[in-house]
Amino acid sequence: MNHLDEKLTFKRGLTLKNRIVIAPMTTKMSFFDGVVTNDEIDYYALRSGEAGAFITAAANVHEGGKGWDGELGVYDDRFIPGLSKLAAAIKKNGTKAILQIFHGGRMTDSKVLQGVQPVAPSAIPAERPNAETPRALEEAEIYDILEGFKKATERAIKAGFDGVEIHGANTYLIQQFFSPHSNRRTDDWGGSLEKRFKFINELVDGVTSVVDRSGVKDFIVGYRFSPEEYEEPGIRLSDTLYLVDRLADKPLDYLHMSSNDYKKVSVSEEFKEKTILTYIKERVGDRVPLIVAGDIRTRKDVETVLETTDLVAVGRAILIDPHWTQKILDDKESLIRTELFHYDREELRISNGVWGFLQMMMPERLK
């Protein structure tokens, strides 16, 4: 079993001081064009210094991949100065800074894109109210997006981050290529499971080779995935076991399972005996460190999860109590604040947009 205050060294040499990672969480605080704001830097600085690593909010690698207003941008060199300040703010007191890189695909709309139609593997809208029908990407555009991920990685290195996390989870473009719901292509980029993996395969190879060719020391690459979809057809756990099996053989430093509950059991009849996390761990083995997020709130949760994984990722608990990590490490759990009304929104540096989202997601914890 892994201990929460034990160090962990990744394949590419980076060492984390403990096993707690702050989960990627959108702040909705960047300027309209994706440039980092001072408020955003304050938000990160308030929460940094205790956890082993802090994964930033998703940053879009391509102008057409912007998912929402207030999102970080990393699709141009002009973002580097702001991102450098952000990395420096996170890295105080030894917390490592990981930039999450992504493209929203069909999970955006033409309002956010200022009149431009969203793009996706195929012209199939998401199953959500008012979803717009995206335009299917041309092959040249696919290569352009893959290039965007590589350039974003170069920028993360220049800005002083300790790594990037490829956001292959939560229904965004990377997952859309793997999903039989959003990917109905009949060319090399869609169809069989193998072909639906092609985009991810090229993406991971591209990003890892940028890092390894750059000569940067101790810079890591992680990959985040969501294990299941509810759409019909959709990604099932059997697909994800194939995915993690392929990814575990790649030069990645970690795999990160995105979930809202680490104890969740699969929707598939053939995988009901254990939790999804257990099946994933069994398939990955010790080939690559595994992280999971999903309703980890107590020291007991952390210890239970670390029996299976190498690291835990914690989101909402650290939004509500910026010093959650230190209280867990010091075994002072009774001091943890679990209800947002202990604070006001400005003290927590939480934007209006995220505050509203939290009220929707967890009203019982808000006043």
Ligand X SMILES: Cc1cc2nc3c(=O)[nH]c(=O)nc-3n(C[C@H](O)[C@H](O)[C@H](O)COP(=O)(O)O)c2cc1C
Q: Rounded distance, CA 297 to CA 328, Å? A: 9
Give bridge partners of residue 98 from the DSSP assignment: 55, 163
Pick one of 60, 122, 183, 258: the residue that binds ligand X (CB under 6 A).
258
The overall longest dimension of the chain from CA atoms, in Å, is 56
**3-class state of residue 67 by DSSP:** coil
Q: Rounded distance, CA 31 to CA 28, Å? A: 9
- CB-neighbour burial class of residue 142 (10 A; exposed 0-12, middle 13-18, buried 19+): buried
**3-class state of residue 52 by DSSP:** coil
Which residues are CB-contacts of 90 (< 8 A; sequence separation ≥ 6)?
Answer: 44, 45, 48, 54, 56, 96, 97
Closest CB to ligand X among residues 169, 200: 169
**One of 43, 75, 172, 223 is an active-site residue; which one?**
172
Shortest Cβ 191–ligand X spacing (Å): 27
Closest CB to ligand X among residues 57, 89: 57
Q: Does 24 bind ligand X (CB under 6 A)?
A: yes
242 annotated active-site: no
Residue where the block lists tokens 């965007």: 148
Segment 161 to 190, residues that bind ligand X, using CB under 6 A = 167, 169-170
Shortest Cβ 27–ligand X spacing (Å): 8
Residue 120 identity: A
Q: Rounded distance, CA 218 to CA 11, Å? A: 9
Nearest to 97 by CA among 105, 109, 108, 89: 89
Segment 191 to 230, residues that bind ligand X, using CB under 6 A = 224
Shortest Cβ 354–ligand X spacing (Å): 5
Shortest Cβ 362–ligand X spacing (Å): 8
Pick one of 8, 243, 296, 306: the residue that binds ligand X (CB under 6 A).
296
Pick one of 242, 343, 355, 357: the residue that binds ligand X (CB under 6 A).
357
Residue of minimal Cβ distance to ligand X: 315
Pick one of 8, 17, 26, 120: the residue that binds ligand X (CB under 6 A).
26
Give bridge partners of residue 204 from the DSSP assignment: none
Closest CB to ligand X among residues 190, 321: 321
Segment 30 to 59, residues that bind ligand X, using CB under 6 A = 57-58
Q: Are 59 and 72 in contact (CB under 8 A)?
A: yes
Which residues in this chain contact ligand X in the complex, by CB under 6 A?
23-26, 57-58, 100, 167, 169-170, 224, 258, 260, 293-296, 314-317, 354, 357
Active site residues: 172
